[in-house]
Structure 1
Amino acid sequence: MVERSTQSRLEKLPAKDPRYNETTVSAVTEMECMLIAAYGQEYDPETKAIPKEEMDVNEIWSRIEKLNLSEDGDGAYTREYQVVQRLLTEDKLKTLKYEFEETDNSQRPRQFYIDKIAELFQTCKDPGALIWYTGYGERHTGNWCFKDGTISFALIIDLYQTFFQGKVLYLICDCAHAGQWVMNFAKFLEDHSIAACGHKAKENGYLLKIFTSCRPEETAKDFCFSTSCSGVEIRSDKCLGFPTSNELSPTQTAFGKDFTKLLCFQNIDQKCKVGELTHKWNWVDYVTNQRTSTVFDYVYLVRGTENGKDAWYYVLINSGCKEQFKIALDDDKIDLEKHGIVVYSGWGKKPPENIEAKVQAFAHD
């Protein structure tokens, strides 16, 4: 119980709180990687396979020059393979254990890839694994297309649950409608009643990070995602540079989410508070960027005393609770946890400068 002083103030929050992007429960640097580049022309007639759109030839040559790629490659597909191959081999902490490039004369059945993915999961000695798919995508599903069928997100999750659950998995999908896989995993977590926070994802063993070259309703251009101006850096988990909301072309926007992010305002070693919040969010809100604009609207700095000592607290509340909270502030004592969530607190008459700076970063537009 806090004995409130009269030195409290209200500040408006913007729609997005950048602290949501700071902490993850699964920082991984060493991982084994698989690259699948499926560029053949033979597909199951029942598969609604969508090829990548062609990039303007001048833009292709501009990117080839910028990235110092070989000019001897056979088309944009081959050069794109070179780009991804370079990204996965330049970093000594990443091991490109499997790489497969399909052309018209070298297409393999889907079962081949299912077996190889299972093998990667079963034999991986590192704390994480990465699978990068580039090629044709199935209409509306974003599933990976092969000559005799597709590999679906549900199948990948089944293999993960069987052989790799509890370890970190990156899925990089560069194909038409790939963003649907991000939505699929958000709905999967909801269906399994896993609360929207990295703490809960870790408790249940689902440590996935999914980055796609386009949103669910969009198609992809060849040579676009891997060579995007924002860059695709995977040198360390801390500075992952996958573009997740960048417009790569007028019809293509990169999309993706790290499902190991902490969304409860707590640190990795602290108790998760997501289940204690009055105004809850879900994974679909997180993926569609709806959560941060609808859950908390204000942050209060409350100064007072606790057990006879000066103390301060930053408290987040929803706009619907603002008036009730302001009434409670008129009392000599207040239980802050009944009205919102205390994101920062400490002893003394005022917060330290570093905490004030963090709050100022998200408390003003």
Structure 2
Amino acid sequence: MVAQINGIQQLGVGVENMSEAWKWYRKYFSMDIRMFEDEATAELMLAHTDGKTRDRRAVLALNMQGGGGFEIWQHTGKKPKPIEFEIQLGDLGINIGKIKTENVKAVYDKFKKENLNLLTKIKKDPAGNDHFFMKDIYGNMWEIKNQKGIFRKKEKSLSGGVLGAVIGTNNMQASLKVYQEILQYDQIIYDKTGTFEDLNGIPGGDKKFRRVLLKHSDVKQGAFSPFFGKSVIELIEAVDYEPRDIYEGRIWGDPGFIHLCFDINGMDAFREKVKDIGYPFTVDSAKAMESFDMGEAAGNFAYIQAPEGTLIEFVETHKIPIMKKIGWYIDLRKRGYHPLPNWIMKLFRFMRVKDKKEK
């Protein structure tokens, strides 16, 4: 098999209390579809966990409007270590998660009514798209961005899943090599340097930056590609500010955005591709076992580290649940590169977790 990227599967979000955090993300971001929930020991992440195995609890949650999901992740074998400083725009790593919506104003009005921490009003980005920025209750920054394309329209949610991320770098050309050559974001939507009115309100957003927004030109063809939809990456480099490493003094899984994960086919081909480009796998589950068991799902995973420090995960999914109550799972290794029928993916809604209404 050749190396093929199928879309953003999930954005990893490290938290101190997974149950509390997931409830918040269900309420406000409609991340209420539980693909898997697992409690185990992360034995293979030694390159990013100070050389020690780490007990953890994790859930992969999706939004039925489509887009990438959240992997909400909590250390259970040690106390999660929060960041000790406020992230400034341009700091190294994942600064902001991008959430897609077809109605930016409706989401803004809802969040304003709920007294959420809105950092900006609705403004236009350099490409003319409406968006606004906010913080969740844990201090993570999110961009709610106009993007057409809903997977399941019969949903009450006003917003969908992950569209991409804003990533701080201190070497734009080096970072572009990873995001363009490895991750296949081959088109530049804009590449602008200056101060930007739409960033005013974000910590550090009044500084001078180079902003490069990337997208992919192809239509993805993997099993879940119709669900994941299009995605973008925005690289941002501070011109007159010395950025800090977001995970300085901390390890993978500590609170914040811990990684960006891509669904792929062809793990063996990817292993050779990234090695040839100069970014070999730092973690490689396929070298340790035939298929990694994630409780209700299974597959292989690997990581590379981009030059600015961002951890990029690749997952080749082998097995997923469709309807757990009747024991219906699909083995994707027999499907090749073909998308699943939409009617099958729409059955994900039966894995929705509903909260009791508060009195």
State the TM-score, normalized to the length of structure 2: 0.25
Higher helix share: 1
Higher strand share: 2
State the TM-score, normalized to the length of structure 1: 0.25
For the pair shown, which has the larger CA radius of gyration, 1 or 2? 1
